[in-house]
Structure 1
Amino acid sequence: MARVVCVHGIAQQVRGEQSLLRDWWPALADGMTRAGSEPVPIGDVSMAFYGDLFRPAGTLLAVGDPLYSAKDVERGIEQDLLLTWWREAAAVDEAVAGPGADTLMRIPGSAQAALRQLSRSKFFAGVALRALVFDLKQVSRYLQETDLRRAARARVAARITPDTRVVVAHSLGSVVAYEALCAMPDHPVRALVTVGSPLGISNLIFERLEPPPQQGLGNWPGPNALVWTNVADRGDVVALQKDLSVRFGDQVRNAIVHNGAHAHDARAYLTEKLTGSAITGGLGDR
């Protein structure tokens, strides 16, 4: 049974449990080595995979993801999240011109301008326009489609056994993992490690969490003894709110790391000594 459960982020719809685990485990092991501990064996690590829930059903002559463009960015969550990414990218990358007040009111004009500017950023370098729009839609679908949301959380819950001590979650996966743990108040997890997490993005994600925040504070995802470590790169546009203690209380331990050109990459986060130390702490005897 898995002592460590990993939860992936967006844009993994054409991957699977085994291929993702082959990518994640060496990086996770490296992080633990940097922290001065013996890496957890791959047999003790499991990947909670939900990416296929976003994959369009295959049909004859269908190839890959839908061919989205700026005109497919819908009002509401998708527009707001895209503009949030644009603002943050402009704040951390001088190559990106920020949005003007008039731009924020125009669709699809604002979406087109945002995508054009984001294509110039280091953070989104190499990401095709249609893929970026598809990523936006994964976030909005998770937050708005009840059945999909429940199915994704169920994938995480199914991986957590009495032997599980650590959950490591990246990007949108941190939202899925957080909600799954909140729905399992008696779970055995000792350490939650979130990397590149958008959980603290106000109005777009934080206020839409299940269970909903109370008086501006999110629920604690387990017993009081749970140690939650949140790791963010300063240049990570997705991890907009770097300090999650503002949203979830002073118990959250926050760390700022430097992933270089790979600010949001899960493997860059996992090789970090601070991430490895958080995982090691959850696996150790207490």
Structure 2
Amino acid sequence: MSKLKSISTVYARKLAQKFGYELLRMPKENLSRLKEFYPNESINCKRFYNIGAGGFSHPHWTNVDHHSEWYKYKLKDNVAIDWDLLELKPLGVDDGIAEAVYTSHTVEHITDEAVKNMFSEAYRILKPGGFLRVTTPDIDLDYRAYIENDLLYFYWFDNKRHSDPSLYPSARLNQPGKDMTSAQRFVFHLASSVSINHSDTNARTIDDGELKDIFNRMEYEAALDEVKGRASIDTQRKYPGNHINWWNENKLRRMLAEAGFDTVYRSGYGQSHCPAMRNTRYFDNTHPPISIYMEARK
């Protein structure tokens, strides 16, 4: 029996890695240890907020997300606060009560204006000394891979969902991901609908030659903005799992500072300064090889 369990665990770990996740042997959250850092009221009232939580499940955290057809398989009844980030409305949480706010691989799916509102709302609801942790794909790593024609960096395009003819249409592709160039993998990861390999034909797409020209004649960040600027909000609302934005350390630092955070720093996988966000059983386990981790303290 133990041998079968070991085999199934190895299989599950390999399967998760194909989709960009890490399954590590981390213990469940130790409530007694959390009580060393946080009052019972915060733990019992779940004053820890995961924005864009998806299928996240933690006994002491409140899930914030927005119901949609695209994510219905993942969200189910898992959303405590339904918040459409693109509407730029306040988060329905009182001022200064949150111990921590976490958002993983969410900011690349929304506009700059929506991220500014999210960061400002996080600052508003956090207690003095509270933490905001942000993880997202690092566009600087993407760009390096594009320039060096490093197809293996974009490993998820080679998985079954992106390459099996019966499945890749669900990823909004018009051809197998394994056949895409590094340029189109880069564009798809930055602004999905702008890629010539996206199945929606309404966007102003960018082919390999035009992408090269954009970066040759424009400054780096301006070129990234030119690419993402081709993506339509209407298309994004149809396919909210697509990407529509880019992030790196410099841009995140700027926006976090604009939201009011004085203490902003680059972190790493599982390296949060906040005790409530260190357990990689729950946190930082989406595409670690391509992610940047940033943290801010109120």
> TM-score, normalised on structure 1?
0.30
Rg (Cα) greater in structure = 2
Give TM-score scaled by structure 2 length: 0.29
More relative contact order, 1 or 2 (CA 8 Å, 6+ apart): 1
